[in-house]
């Protein structure tokens, strides 16, 4: 006769595996749902917001009306955010004269953001929002608070493209060139 303790252990592992698999499937479907919510924002007017910049000056999103605006919700502790930043710095410099404006929206502490900006040479406007920035990102379709989260807005103030997760140089340039 087989060992009842061993059978119980195998049964417990099987049940735990099934439970974990169901959680994974649920998470993946939530991510798909999150992508659908984000993509549903495309062609809609960009929501208005105000946040302080790194110097404490309150900035309004309408300040950049008429420009191709790239809003990047990010944090210093987010590896994909850190990875995409040098690309955004380069693209800001390359396309600024054509009316393209990157704006960082940090979900982070001011001191950490200042140090990060200095290290990476970030010279585009940087807004600080912590909880307020999370709520604004949700207004832009970021239902689950993914970081990074980037929104490209056309000159007419409509959302053109939304990216949950890292935005590559190719993605960014393709969208910028479509709007020039």
Distances in whole angstroms, Cα of residue 163 to Cα of each of 91, 119, 174: 16, 25, 13
- Note the pLDDT of residue 28: 38
- Note the pLDDT of residue 144: 86
**pLDDT band for position 84 (cuts 50, 70, 90):** very high
Using the predicted structure, report yes or no on whether residue 12 has a pLDDT greater than 90: no
User: In the chain, what are the domain boundaries?
Assistant: 50-179
Q: Round the average pLDDT of the chain to a whole number and report it.
A: 85
**pLDDT band for position 36 (cuts 50, 70, 90):** low
Paired sense of beta strands 126-128 and 100-106, if any: parallel
pLDDT, tens digit, for every residue of 97-132?
Answer: 999 999 999 999 999 999 999 999 999 999 998 889
* pTM, two decimal places: 0.79
**pLDDT band for position 18 (cuts 50, 70, 90):** very low
What CATH number labels 50-179?
3.40.30.10
- Note the pLDDT of residue 130: 82
């Amino acid at each position: 006769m087989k060992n009842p303790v061993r059978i119980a252990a195998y049964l417990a592992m099987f049940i735990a595996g099934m439970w974990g698999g169901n959680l994974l499937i649920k998470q993946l479907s939530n991510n798909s749902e999150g992508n659908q919510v984000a993509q549903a924002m495309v062609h809609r007017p960009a929501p208005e917001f105000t946040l302080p910049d790194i110097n404490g000056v309150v900035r309004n999103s309408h300040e950049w009306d008429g420009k191709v605006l790239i809003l990047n919700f990010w944090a210093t502790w987010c590896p994909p955010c850190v990875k995409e930043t040098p690309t955004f710095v380069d693209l800001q410099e390359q396309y600024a004269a054509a009316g393209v404006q990157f704006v960082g929206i940090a979900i982070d502490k001011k001191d950490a953001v200042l140090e990060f900006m200095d290290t990476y040479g970030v010279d585009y406007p940087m807004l600080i929002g912590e909880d307020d920035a999370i709520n604004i990102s949700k207004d832009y379709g970021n239902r689950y608070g993914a970081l990074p989260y980037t929104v490209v807005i056309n000159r007419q103030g409509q959302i053109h493209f939304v990216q949950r997760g890292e935005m590559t140089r190719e993605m960014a340039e393709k969208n910028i060139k479509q709007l020039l």
